[in-house]
């Protein structure tokens, strides 16, 4: 089983995160496969739009448990390299020249929220839950922060980065992470409707329109890569810090970290 399933239909490239047994959590293989799949779709003239979704009950639960164990024991340089690979995935999706749709079929946490934020259009099931819960581990959502901040704005990002609270699909729509919320059984119809709208537009105009919007917002690829290096260094430093080590250890041991009295 590969980490990503790829399907084509009528000019649409559907990329499905395919680790349902771990709620489509990220590991090295998923990150590498998804980055390559988005790059391939971006350069394929037969692809008019990309749909990103998850297999099973969840969209993506963020970091895989075994991946987190690796983070906890890795050096700062290894953590930086690891973070740069995730940053490349987010940047590749953000600047993909084709229209991208997040079909949010279930829960999205951490990096899963980052994937939703990087897509041009996000449609979610009303049962989906979301969270940027990194602070509970003594960490921060560094790599995904530029994309989340562009999606929901500074005010909402400050609140969610600091509290780590979990919120529902309607709140995700209210703050701008989702464009539309529908019943789970209506999700495919909602995505199909949006794809029909996209199919009526000129592909060259769409590519230019996307670049225009990003450029006018001051978000260009060269600058994003520089920011990614700074954020990778930040998360690497926090992962090997005393607090980060305690947070990761507490999570892996299924106990409360010391700062809430459980250590």
- pLDDT of residue 9 exceeding 70, the answer is yes
Show the CA angle centred on residue 28, arms to residues 25 and 31, nearest 5°.
70
Query: Which of the four pLDDT bands, split at 50, 70 and 90, describes residue 117?
Result: very high
Q: Which CATH superfamily is domain 4-187 in?
A: 2-enoyl-CoA Hydratase; Chain A, domain 1 (3.90.226.10)
- Across 9-18, 105-114, 246-255, least confident range: 246-255
Residues 139-155 have a mean pLDDT of 97
- pLDDT of residue 112 exceeding 70, the answer is yes
Q: Which backbone phi and psi does 145 adopt, to 5 degrees?
A: -60, -40
Percent of the chain, pLDDT > 90? 94
Residue 263: per-residue pLDDT: 43
- Concerning whether 221 is annotated as a catalytic residue, the answer is no
Mean pLDDT of the chain: 96
pTM of the predicted protein model:
0.96
Residue 141: per-residue pLDDT: 97
SS3 assignment, position 186: helix
Residues 136-143 have a mean pLDDT of 96
Of 134, 185, 225, 243, which is the active-site residue? 134
Measured CA to CA, the distance from residue 257 to residue 205 in angstroms comes to 51
Residue 262: per-residue pLDDT: 47
Tell me: the pLDDT tens digits for 74-111?
A: 999 999 999 999 999 999 999 999 999 999 999 999 99
Residues 46-66 have a mean pLDDT of 96
Tell me: the pLDDT tens digits for 199-232?
A: 999 999 999 999 999 999 999 998 999 999 999 9
The stretches of the chain forming alpha helices (DSSP H) are 28-43, 65-73, 76-94, 111-118, 145-152, 154-163, 169-175, 187-199, 203-216, 221-239, 242-253
Percent of the chain, pLDDT > 70? 99
- pLDDT of residue 172 exceeding 80, the answer is yes
- pLDDT of residue 33 exceeding 90, the answer is yes
CB 177 within 8 A of CB 113: yes
- Across 7-11, 56-60, 202-206, 248-252, least confident range: 248-252
Compute CA distances 206 → 48, 178, 215, whole Å: 10, 20, 14
Residue 72: per-residue pLDDT: 84
Sketch the domain layout of the chain as residue ranges: 4-187
Query: Which of the four pLDDT bands, split at 50, 70 and 90, describes residue 1?
Result: low
CB 123 within 8 A of CB 187: yes
Compute CA distances 1 → 7, 19, 115, whole Å: 15, 9, 22
Closest CA to 82 of 99, 93, 69: 69
């Amino acid at each position: 089983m590969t980490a990503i399933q790829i399907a084509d239909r009528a000019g649409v490239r559907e990329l499905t995160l395919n680790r349902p047994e771990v709620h489509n959590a990220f590991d090295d293989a998923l990150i590498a496969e998804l980055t390559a799949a988005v790059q391939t779709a971006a350069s394929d003239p037969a692809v008019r739009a990309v749909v990103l979704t998850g297999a099973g009950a969840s969209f993506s639960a963020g970091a895989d448990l075994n991946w987190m164990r690796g983070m906890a024991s890795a050096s700062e340089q290894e953590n930086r390299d690891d973070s740069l690979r995730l940053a490349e995935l987010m940047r590749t999706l953000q600047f993909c020249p084709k229209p991208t749709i997040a079909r949010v079929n279930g829960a999205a946490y951490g990096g899963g929220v980052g994937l939703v934020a990087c897509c041009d259009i996000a449609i979610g099931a009303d049962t989906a839950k979301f969270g940027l819960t990194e602070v509970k581990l003594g960490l921060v959502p560094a790599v995904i922060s530029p994309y989340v901040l562009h999606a929901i704005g500074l005010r909402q990002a400050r609140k969610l980065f600091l509290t780590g609270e979990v919120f529902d699909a309607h709140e995700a729509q209210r703050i701008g992470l989702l464009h539309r919320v529908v019943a789970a059984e209506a999700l495919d119809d909602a995505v199909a409707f949006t794809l029909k709208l996209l199919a009526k537009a000129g592909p060259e105009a769409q590519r230019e329109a996307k670049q225009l919007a990003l450029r006018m917002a001051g978000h260009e690829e060269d600058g994003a890569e520089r920011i990614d290096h700074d954020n990778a260094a930040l998360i690497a430093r926090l992962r090997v810090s005393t607090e980060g080590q305690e947070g990761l250890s507490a999570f892996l041991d299924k106990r409360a970290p010391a700062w809430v009295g459980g250590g």
